[in-house]
């Protein structure tokens, strides 16, 4: 099972990239693709299209385009996609850091619901849509 995780600008700026990646590796995930980039508005709007029209949409787009991000594809062998995504979502923590469990990435490092360190696909459907925004098939290792 492979899925997308994106370390957002606040995670990169705060020097948390290694810590975030190591959290996934400690649970048995391996990196299959990784890059550093900065989103333009068009790409950010495509990534967060499900939130278009919501009150926080413009702030989210401004935030995610404000600095470098690190998208990565991670894999857990012998795991179904939905099972793997559930584990990733537990490692990441609730979107609102006030609701995220301590020990999760957001529970330990996020300061605000808008600045929540990391994005992770929340379903097989969103993963299928989101991963190609960042990676083509040739960039993802088997």
How many C-beta atoms surround the C-beta of residue 59 within 10 A? 11
DSSP for 54-99 reads: STTHHHHHHHHTSS-BEEEEEE-TT--HHHHHHHHHHHH--SSTTT
Catalytic residue (choose from 5, 119, 121, 135): 119
Q: For the chain, give percent helix, strand, coil, nearest 5.
A: 45, 15, 40
Q: Would you call 68 a catalytic residue per the annotation?
A: no
Residue 91's closest CA among 104, 106, 72? 104
The CA radius of gyration of the chain, in Å to the nearest whole number, is 14
Catalytic residues: 119
């Amino acid at each position: 099972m492979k899925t997308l995780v994106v370390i957002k600008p606040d995670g990169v700026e705060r020097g948390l990239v290694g810590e975030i990646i190591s959290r996934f590796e400690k649970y048995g995930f391996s990196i299959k693709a990784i890059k550093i980039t900065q989103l333009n508005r068009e790409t950010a709007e495509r990534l967060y299209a499900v939130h278009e029209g919501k009150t926080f949409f413009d702030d989210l787009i401004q935030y995610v385009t404000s600095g470098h991000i690190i998208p990565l594809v991670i894999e857990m062998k012998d795991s179904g996609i939905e099972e793997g995504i559930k584990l990733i979502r537990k490692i990441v923590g609730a979107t609102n850091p006030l609701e995220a469990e301590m020990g999760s990435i957001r529970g330990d490092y996020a300061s605000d619901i808008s600045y929540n360190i990391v994005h992770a696909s929340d379903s097989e459907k969103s993963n299928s849509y989101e991963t190609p925004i960042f990676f083509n098939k040739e960039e993802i290792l088997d």
